[in-house]
Amino acid sequence: MSTIIQQNMANSTAIKIIAIAAAFLLLSSVAATSAFGENTSKEKTKVKSTDKKEGVKKTIQDKIKKTAKQPTTKKPQTDATNPTSQTNTTIQQAKPAIDPFEAQKSACKQKETEREQYECEKALRSTQSSEDFKQKSKKHVVGPVTFYYPGAKVEKSGNVHILNLKFLVENTGSKDNVALYCTGPAACNYDISDGKATYKYAANDFTSGQIVLRPGMSKEMNIMFGPAIGYGSYVPFKYDPTKQYTFNVKESWGTATIPLDLK
């Protein structure tokens, strides 16, 4: 009986030892699992943090690259900060304009012979003179001829009144020659009047009593009025500032009355 009791106690002790050992192993396993889980969680957090930092770093690098690729806009230099610009502006302002007449005159000098150079410059001076005359004149078209009139003044010397009229006449409307006739006081197609009295010329520059204009050609025409020269049959010109005077054209190719606006 005593032996049986001893065996049971021994078995009970062994069972307790086994149970304690099993419990210890179970606790160790749980602790290990918990530690592993904690380490794994820390590793994941660390990886996420690293990934986040790498993402931020990459974003910053991309912005730097984009900024580097963008072209730099240069601010225009003002005259105050650009002495060269000021100098160039001054030079441009100081540069004189090219005179067309001088340029054409230089072209005439390129002609081969002196005769050709002379004729070229003569035609150039005539053209320039005509253009200057037109610029200061009023234009009156009479048939195929255009009369350019710049105005005139009456000169007085005692009881003698002198009116010298100057026109530029140009063949602008005919392909043929046009002639202006004034061969003498009794046979002249030009005179002046004040609305009542008519006055014949005292002198003119018509060559052989006529001025011939080729197509496109222009010439100056001078005709003077003053003392009578018609053997007592013509009245001398007397200027009256209260009256209006006209220059009368009486040609076969056209007639007109041109206001003189005398002063």
Tokens of 115: 């005769």
Q: What is the pTM of this model?
A: 0.58
Nearest to 234 by CA among 188, 179, 169, 168: 188
Nearest to 130 by CA among 247, 217, 222, 207: 217
What distances in angstroms separate CA 15 from CA 8, 28, 95, 238, one per listed residue?
10, 20, 123, 168
Q: pLDDT of 167-180, one tens digit each?
A: 999 999 999 999 99
Domain 138-259 annotated CATH 3.10.129.10: no
pLDDT of residue 175: 96
| pLDDT above 70: residue 253 | yes
The one-letter amino acid code at 151 reads G
Q: What are the backbone angles phi and psi of residue 26, rounded to the nearest 5°?
A: -65, -45
Give me the chain's average pLDDT, please.
76
Q: pLDDT of 174-209, one tens digit each?
A: 999 999 999 887 889 999 999 999 999 999 999 899
Domain locations along the chain: 1-39, 107-135, 138-259
Nearest to 201 by CA among 219, 226, 180, 179: 226
Mean pLDDT, residues 2-18 taken together: 58
Burial category of 248 from C-beta neighbours within 10 Å (exposed 0-12, middle 13-18, buried 19 and up): middle
pLDDT of residue 228: 80
